[in-house]
A and B are shown apart, each in its own frame.
Chain A
């Protein structure tokens, strides 16, 4: 904690209790951001541990644990990873970085910002507390399809408060993220530094802006669905979603996916923004096609609201051609982004530290997630592949090697800004390679298992030729990846205290405003703001480029890391 206190600049007296109290009562976006990231990281570790339990169960035919336990494991693995890890960790980085990137003192509503954090923590603990109760946690899958999730009688699903705690937990988390989303919208629209026009905003800020729109527009739909389901379970007797009492189970799917498809982009857009920050910096080039990239981001945001039913192609309750067309359309802006990233590297001067490795790893592996998505967009192919392990492989290539790789890139990239010390590069490289190899070992065999017809969410499988081997490769891969994650955790803790010191404001020779202040920044963020005349003012000013060409000579002093 002593070093964490170092982020608080001067005039700070008091012991550990004082430091703790300061963190608990802070409204500083930087501290809130760090707490978000740390809390989400801890949740992520729990979610990762649950995935190991799942993988262990599948290492061979025959059940090791009871199905009730297994169902809780995969339900809570997904719920934790989505609601308590990927979304809040991205929110955490956004909290820390966005006000700095737009040259603001803080978020627009600092107290609401603090409220979001503590409400998020409360919701997460609420959801996880279910493990302590009789009957355990929710076991209906993170999609919570009724009538399984709406049943309380215990005849079709084990009775218990787990499902109710899950519902209330997600509602509470929704409150936190909606408040956060509104806060980001106001902050980004109203708090930008002079000269920071919309088209000079850093790409990460752009993705956070679009994400905030998605959060604010989609989350209330989920919240209402969750409240209806809660009512179904507690008094209404299933009138909304249980066909046995006159409800419509497919209604839930429509409401749920109307939120949860945008949620996929809520999870992947900020990591895309991170990669769009990291790649240019370590290529020493601007992001190729900035405006096209902004348009692609907005396009993905808009399309995300008209593709939800592609999760429901096999329900028989969907107008297939429309959702097939809209889903295919997503491929176009995504393709544009892929090409822009590659063109950013083209003719660059690429430096491969860990942040860059994770960014390039993101581009390489997210591609697989995107391509396997095309298979699902083609409805007839989805008839074959839906609800098989092919979907599991696809979504993990998007979220585990996509979103999570982006988050790791962000960690290595912004760590010196946050703590004034670097993460250890040697450990970082091991972390990257164990993740890169481990995740591919998990998810590539899963694509093949899905092609061969292995359904998802089963705790035991038939002894079909090859299935056991593929599952074993995946299980070993899960442990390989977990070694990397644990190393990363150690690296973070170690580097906060003993990492190599970062004395410079701008160790990476980056371009955006967060690098124009000290590492870590003072409470009020900036002593002076550079004039913002391009989308990477710090780099352009330093090297006398673009609008800054007249004010400085060419070929400035070099830095390298």
Chain B
């Protein structure tokens, strides 16, 4: 049917309106994209590398996006139907087809090489003699626990547990630990020199040794370097200050304290389901897999408070599985850790008498007492920890802050407070 000209005019007007709409949308999206086209500023060396790679990919992608979308819009207007004549029947053109196979290939190859270099860089472990801070990150529904390692001698005795029933430790193949054998547990090597009661004397391989609470008969899945300190450092921290308004934010989330400028090895594992250790400003995440311990290397470059959150769906309270990162300058970090490890003041010494002797690991039962040290050391009054220390839920005894879950009390001010702790500078 030939089209009458008034209809054609109307059609043109409609097309123009459509064009304005599409163009407007694209402009709008470009404008909105300007607001948030990049991830947050990185606060670690690895994060900066990743962010730089992101920026490279972004500009390549933006160029392709703009050129292709503009070309499509141009095609739409340039070649809209004007008459009923049959357009030239072009079936293809080998030259241009080869060209537009080769060009994406080159782009993809460049991206692969650059990505590979960055990947190699951020994934590589630090040199053998580079000092490394080891922090164990244990995820569980729905909490984070952070354990800090302190230096120890080449051969050390480690108390496993105060419970005499807890000595029957097993390695991954289900067999019992035996003296004078070397075990590889995840990324660590240890040699068990002797077993006496519930004290293992072990020699370190790369770094690390056996610690913590292990119920009888269960295999050891996770080990840290040296004397372990569980940190239940949560609640009533007032250190998060919005630089612009000066407003003080209370953060009731578990806090992992890290040194600035020293490589940290996070040993990440999970006690139940899969979680993911993710702080947006690290631009990095690693899944916490049950049954495995995996290492994430990071060198934090900026002091401050950063928000973190479980990124892998982990059940009911997944949205509330938050944590905070507190990055301290190295000297402050060392002082903080030393105070955390220091023996309890004389007044309290009677209580943890069972913990005397050997370079014993901090026992879970002592979490409440340690919290006292923590308070003294870094100014955080910690009423929550005291409750936890006396907790009846075995999971709570790990010195974690646990929120939600079937056993948790109803009405959870802790996580809600954490939920509303905004990250400065977002969007």
Bound-state Cα–Cα, A342 to B278, Å = 40
CB neighbors of B among A507-533 (8 A): none
Identify which of residues 122-175 in chain A touch chain B, using a CB-to-CB cut-off of 8 Å. 140-141, 145, 147-148, 151, 155-158
Q: Are B105 and A155 in contact (CB under 8 A)?
A: no
Given known contacts A378-B115, A387-B276, A455-B278, A155 and B406 CB-to-CB distance under 8 angstroms: yes
Report whether A383 and B90 are in contact in the complex, using a CB–CB cutoff of 8 Å.
Answer: no
**Cα A145 to Cα B114 with chains together (Å):** 32
Mark each residue of chain A from 352 to 386: 1 if its CB lies under 8 Å from any CB of chain B, else 0: 10000000100110011001101101111101111
Instruction: Say yes or no: is B27 at the interface (Cβ < 8 Å to chain A).
Output: no
B29 touches A444 (CB 8 A): yes
Q: Looking at A156, A342, A372, which has the most chain B CB atoms within 10 Å of its CB?
A: A156
Complex interface: stretch among B71-79, B125-133, B146-154, B371-379:
B71-79
Q: How far is the CB of A22 from chain B (nearest CB, A)?
A: 37
* Most central of A351, A360, A371 by chain B CB within 10 Å: A371
B residues less than 8 Å from A289 (CB atoms): 91-93, 97
Partner-binding segment picked from A38-46, A214-222, A260-268, A462-470 = A462-470
Q: Chain B residues near A328: list those with CB within 8 A.
A: 108-109, 111-112
> Which of A158, A244, A433 has most B Cβ within 10 Å?
A244
Distance of B425 from chain A, by nearest CB (Å): 7
Q: Which of B196-204, B313-321, B343-351, B361-369 contacts A (4 or more CB under 8 A)?
A: B313-321
Most buried by B among A155, A377, A452: A452
A388 at the interface (CB under 8 A from B): yes
Distance of A261 Cα from B68 Cα, bound (Å): 26
Given contacts A381-B57, A461-B319, A463-B419, are A451 and B101 in contact (CB under 8 A)? Answer: no
Residue A61 is within 8 A (CB to CB) of chain B in the complex: yes
Q: Please, what's the 1-or-0 string for A442-464, where 1 marks a CB less than 8 Å from any CB in chain B? A: 00110010011101111111111
Beta-carbon contact of B274 and A466 below 8 Å:
no
**Cβ-defined contact, A378 with B76, below 8 A:** no
**Given contacts A148-B273, A470-B427, A249 and B290 within 8 Å (CB-CB):** yes
Contacting A452 at CB < 8 Å: which of B36, B47, B97, B111?
B36
Q: Is the CB of A375 within 8 A of B311?
A: no
Please report the C-alpha to C-alpha distance between residue A519 and residue B255 in the assembled complex, in whole angstroms. Answer: 68
**Given known A342-B71, A384-B50, A462-B422, contact A349–B82 (CB-CB < 8 A):** yes
- Measured between C-beta atoms, what is the minimum distance from A539 to chain B in Å? 9
Closest to B103 in A: A335
Chain B 407-427 near chain A by CB (<8 Å), digits 1 or 0: 000000000001111111111
Looking across the interface, which residue of chain A has its beta carbon closest to that of B47?
Answer: A384
Whole-angstrom CA separation of A347 from B92 in the bound complex = 12
A543 to B88, CA, bound (A): 12
Bound: A381/B84 CA distance, A: 50
- Which residues from chain B contact A338 at a C-beta distance below 8 Å? 68
Which residues of A are found within 8 Å of B370, using beta-carbon distances? none
Residue total for A at the interface (Cβ-Cβ under 8 A): 107
Q: Does A387 lie within 8 Å of B278, measured CB to CB? A: yes
**In the complex, A325→B38 CA distance in Å?**
24
For B36, the chain A residues whose CB sits under 8 A away are 448, 451-452, 466
Tell me whether A286 is interfacial, beta carbon within 8 Å.
Answer: yes
Nearest-neighbour CB distance to chain B for A428, whole angstroms, equals 14
Known: A339-B100, A374-B61. A440 touches B39 (CB 8 A): no
* A141 near B285: Cβ-Cβ < 8 Å: no
Closest chain-B Cβ to A368's Cβ sits at a distance in Å of 7
Chain B interface: which of A104-112, A199-207, A316-324, A494-502? A316-324
A285–B87 touching, CB < 8 Å: yes
Q: What is the minimal beta-carbon distance from B174 to any residue of chain A, in angstroms?
A: 9
Contacts of B38 in A (CB 8 A): 451
Central interface residue in B83, B103, B427, by most chain A CB within 10 Å: B427
A291, A348, A543, most chain B CB atoms within 10 A: A348
Instruction: Let me know if B61 and A243 touch, CB within 8 A.
Output: no
Question: How far apart are B330's CB and chain A's nearest CB, in angstroms?
Answer: 25
- Decide yes or no whether A115 CB sits under 8 A from chain B: no
CB <8 Å contact, A332 and B319? no
Tell me, yes or no, whether B336 is within 8 Å of chain A by CB: no
Whether the pair A347, B91 counts as a contact (CB closer than 8 A) is: no
On chain A, the residues within 8 Å of B109 by CB distance are 328
Please report the C-alpha to C-alpha distance between residue A416 and residue B276 in the assembled complex, in whole angstroms.
51
Whole-angstrom distance from the CB of A444 to the nearest CB of chain B? Answer: 5
Q: What is the interface size of chain B, counting residues whose CB is below 8 A from a CB of the partner?
A: 110
A264-291 interface code vs B (CB 8 A; 1 in, 0 out): 0000000000000000000111101111
Q: Are A466 and B53 in contact (CB under 8 A)?
A: no
A465-B79 contact in complex given A284-B87, A352-B15, A445-B32, C-beta closer than 8 Å: no
From B116-124, B256-264, B352-360, the one touching the partner chain is: B116-124
Q: Pick the contact of A384: B3, B33, B54, B292 (CB < 8 A).
A: B54
Give chain B interface residues in 276-312, CB to chain A under 8 Å.
Answer: 276, 278, 280-281, 283-287, 289-292, 294, 307, 309-312
Measured between beta carbons, the chain A residues less than 8 angstroms from B108 are 328-329, 331-332
- Is A550 part of the contact surface with B, judged by Cβ < 8 Å? no
Residue A350, interface by CB 8 Å? yes
- A348–B294 Cα gap in the complex (Å)? 56
Cross-chain contact A383 with B283 (CB below 8 angstroms): yes
Task: Report whether B65 and A156 are in contact in the complex, using a CB–CB cutoff of 8 Å.
Answer: no
Residue contact A350 to B25, C-beta cutoff 8 Å: no
Complex interface bits, B13-51 against A, C-beta within 8 A gives 1, otherwise 0: 001000001000100010011011111100000010111
Q: Does A250 reach chain B (CB closer than 8 Å)?
A: yes
A315 to B72, Cβ gap below 8 A?
Answer: no
B115 touches A379 (CB 8 A): yes
| Shortest Cβ gap from B133 to chain A (Å) | 20
Chain B residues with Cβ under 8 A from A236's Cβ? Answer: none
| Nearest CB in chain B to that of A343: its residue | B96
**B10 at the A/B interface (Cβ < 8 Å)?**
no
Known contacts A363-B72, A452-B40, A467 near B101 by CB under 8 Å: no
Q: Chain B residues with Cβ under 8 A from A558's Cβ? A: 84
Bound CA–CA A560/B80 (angstroms): 13
Say whether A545 faces chain B, with CB atoms less than 8 Å apart. Answer: yes
Are the C-beta atoms of B88 and A347 separated by less than 8 Å? yes
Contacts of A543 in B (CB 8 A): 86
Inter-chain CA distance A383–B33, complex, in Å, is 21
Please tell me if A437 contacts chain B, counting CB pairs below 8 Å. Answer: yes
- Judge whether A191 is part of the interface by a CB distance below 8 angstroms: no
* B322 beta carbon closer than 8 Å to chain A: yes
Determine the chain A residues whose CB is within 8 A of the CB of B103 once the complex forms. Answer: 335
A314 within 8 A of partner (CB): yes
Residue of A nearest to B424 (CB): A465
A67 at the interface (CB under 8 A from B): yes
Cα distance A458–B313 in the bound complex, in angstroms: 8
State whether A249 touches B427 (Cβ < 8 A). Answer: no
Please state if A342 and B76 are interface contacts (CB–CB under 8 Å). Answer: no
B193 within 8 A of A: no
Contacts of A436 in B (CB 8 A): 25
Query: Which residues of chain A are within 8 angstroms of B80 by Cβ–Cβ distance?
Result: 350-352
A135 to chain B, nearest CB (A): 13
- The contact of B53 among A250, A283, A380, by CB within 8 Å, is A380
In the bound complex, do residue B119 and residue A380 qualify as a contact, i.e. CB atoms below 8 Å apart?
A: yes
Extra contacts, 5 of them, besides A147-B273, A380-B115 (Cβ < 8 A), are A363-B72, A380-B53, A383-B283, A440-B25, A448-B37
7 A-B pairs with least C-beta separation: A466-B427, A453-B280, A243-B291, A458-B319, A335-B104, A384-B283, A448-B36
22 contacts between A and B (CB under 8 A): A157-B315, A285-B88, A285-B90, A288-B90, A288-B93, A289-B91, A315-B289, A328-B109, A331-B107, A331-B108, A349-B86, A372-B61, A374-B60, A374-B111, A375-B54, A381-B50, A385-B39, A451-B37, A453-B307, A455-B310, A464-B422, A464-B427
